Structure 1
Amino acid sequence: MLYSNTRTLLRSEPNQKRSITASLIQGVYVSERDHQQNRVDHNALALIWWKIFDFELIQLLVDNDVESTIFGAIFEYKPRDNRNENDDIPPQNRPPKYVIAFRDIVAQVSPENVWLTGHSLGAAIALQIGKTMARQGISGIL
């Protein structure tokens, strides 16, 4: 793995956080390409985009109405060293427990342990989810 301490990257510079979320989004794009080209198992190319930062794919988000298109993914942060993430770290600096990444989205919404992120067209989705979360009283929304 290229990064031995993703936790430090996630707590530091905003540009580094953006780079990590951009990699997760790229992983969603590559997952869709893997799906289109029937690349599976050792032939699939998407895995490296999230594994390098200690994220695991929990679920692909698939639109079954549009040729089973992959439009997003849910990732869970699982550091290799299994240390307690919250030791003496203020909540705003903790790595997210989950990241929900959408293709074609630009927004990032960040309650305490979840980021919504993506690129371009799907920004409306992330914004609506963030607004809904805020209306439901979920704290920490940026």
Structure 2
Amino acid sequence: MAIERGNFDLTGPKQLTEVDWTNNHHRRAVVASLVEGAYNLEYDRQESRDPQVQSSRWWNFFHFQLKRALVDDKDSSIYGAVYEIKHTYLNHLPKCAPKYVIAFRGTILKLSTAKRDLKLNIKVLTDVLHMDRHRFKPALEAVQQVVQEAGSANIWLAGHSLGSSIAMMVGKSMAQEGKCMEAFLFNPPLLGNVLLKIIGNQYLQDAMRLTETLCNFGTLFVGGGHVRQGLLNFDLVFAGI
């Protein structure tokens, strides 16, 4: 399953040879690919594979390079990735395109990751994820470092499942520092009061209450109050391009 899922040429949006960064479907497909790359970095680690053999297609195809893998020092798993657009491609980008994308994977129910990932899901449920010292705080520090080096413009956050909670909390923390970023959240794991409290935006709270009964709800928001919401089923994103 992981090997088939990790093969960009089998499951990736390889038909997207030219990205229109003003097209929301294109943007979602690229970002979902980068999140998939974060998943596959961890699969590569678990199965002792060279990420350059297969996983790198998920970011190289869209002219990104892996700047850094984010590692949880509790279980040594890779939970995220910092991607940077290749410098040779910068001149071809419109202003709305990202220069950096920080992507976070979701829960992996494998022997070496399940225990830690499930504990983090419980932290989401109990609204204490922001206190985690081994994943959330290092994730926030990684984003802060990128902002310090490159500024906050054109930096995107992304995550799937558990990773969407991390991205959302990081985005909120950065917004409180006056650094507003665009974030792509695929299949957030919780749609209850805790999630509404985390977001802290009345417009989105109202929208989410109306759609709470629908499965696989996702949000695409810009920190600082500009919010767009919709159904972003991570497994179906590529079909929309």
Normalised TM-score (structure 1):
0.77
Of 35, 59, 74, the residue aligned with 2:82 is: 74
**Residue 121 of structure 1: CA displacement?**
1.4
**Bigger RCO (CA 8 Å, 6+ sep):** 1
Of 80, 103, 106, the residue aligned with 1:104 is: 106
**Residue 79 of structure 1: CA displacement?**
5.7
Q: 1:33 to 1:83 in 2, by over 3 A?
A: same
Letter in 1 for 2:159: G
Q: Secondary structure of 1:122's partner? A: helix
Aligned length: 126
Q: Does 1:117 align with 2:158?
A: yes
Larger radius of gyration: 2
- Identity, in percent, stands at 37
**Stretch moving more, 33-42 or 21-30:** 33-42
Normalised TM-score (structure 2):
0.47
Q: 1:82 to 1:98 in 2, by over 3 A?
A: closer
Tell me which residue corresponds to 2:167: 126
Q: Does 1:47 align with 2:47?
A: no
Q: 1 or 2, which has the higher helix percentage?
A: 2
**Residue 60 of structure 1: CA displacement?**
0.2
What CA distance in whole angstroms lies between the structure 2 residues aligned with 1:139 and 1:53?
24
**Residue 112 of structure 1: CA displacement?**
2.5
**Residue 132 of structure 1: CA displacement?**
1.0
Q: 1:29 to 1:103 in 2, by over 3 A?
A: same
Tell me which residue corresponds to 2:238: none
What CA distance in whole angstroms lies between the structure 2 residues aligned with 1:118 and 1:41?
20
What CA distance in whole angstroms lies between the structure 2 residues aligned with 1:133 and 1:114?
11
Q: 1:41 to 1:28 in 2, by over 3 A?
A: closer
Q: 1:21 to 1:82 in 2, by over 3 A?
A: closer
Q: Deviations over 1:25-54 (max 9, x none)?
A: 111111111111111265x32100000000
Q: 1:61 to 1:49 in 2, by over 3 A?
A: same
Q: 1:58 to 1:132 in 2, by over 3 A?
A: same
